[in-house]
């Protein structure tokens, strides 16, 4: 059971970093720091969008319009942090 919990924590940690990378990439793309016509850049952007958008879309639907500021990645990072801490402090000790 410990292996399962460690695997879930690892998956949450990886997803955490993918969300951060997606936010940074969106800023770089928005401010024309990266070349959007480059195939490699497009592939990375498409991958990050496809991986993070399914989790961010429901949060964006619930949030009010903040005038171009997207705080959905921050909300999702807080949810992942809460879930990770809940698993480590409540679920894991109960199973051990």
pLDDT, tens digit, 9 for 90 and up, residues 12-67: 999 999 999 999 999 999 998 998 889 999 999 999 999 999 999 999 999 988 88
Query: Which pLDDT score is estimated for 44?
Result: 95
Which residues contact residue 42 at a Cβ distance below 8 angstroms, ignoring those fewer than 6 apart? 36
What's the pTM?
Answer: 0.90
Confidence (pLDDT) at 13: 98
Using the CB atoms, write b or e for 43-67: b if 16+ within 10 Å.
Answer: ebbeebeeebeebbeebeeeeeeee
Which pLDDT score is estimated for 47? Answer: 97
**CA distance linking residue 27 with residue 33, whole number of Å:** 8
Domain boundaries, the chain: 2-95
Which of these, 27, 85, 68, 19, lies nearest to 48 by C-alpha position? Answer: 19
Is residue 9 within 8 A of residue 84, CB to CB? The reply is yes
Greatest Cα pair distance in the chain: 52
Contact 80, 16 (CB under 8 A): yes
49-62 confidence digits (pLDDT tens): 999 999 999 999 99
Confidence category of residue 78, pLDDT binned at 50, 70, 90: very high
């Amino acid at each position: 059971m410990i292996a399962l919990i460690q695997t879930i924590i690892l998956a949450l940690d990886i997803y955490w970093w993918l969300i951060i990378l997606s936010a940074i990439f969106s800023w770089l793309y928005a401010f024309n720091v990266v070349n959007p016509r480059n195939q490699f850049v497009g592939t990375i952007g498409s991958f990050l969008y496809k991986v993070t958008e399914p989790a961010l879309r429901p949060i964006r639907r619930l949030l009010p319009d903040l005038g171009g500021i997207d705080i959905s990645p921050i909300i999702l990072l807080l949810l992942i942090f809460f879930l990770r801490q809940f698993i480590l402090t409540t679920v894991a000790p109960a199973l051990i």
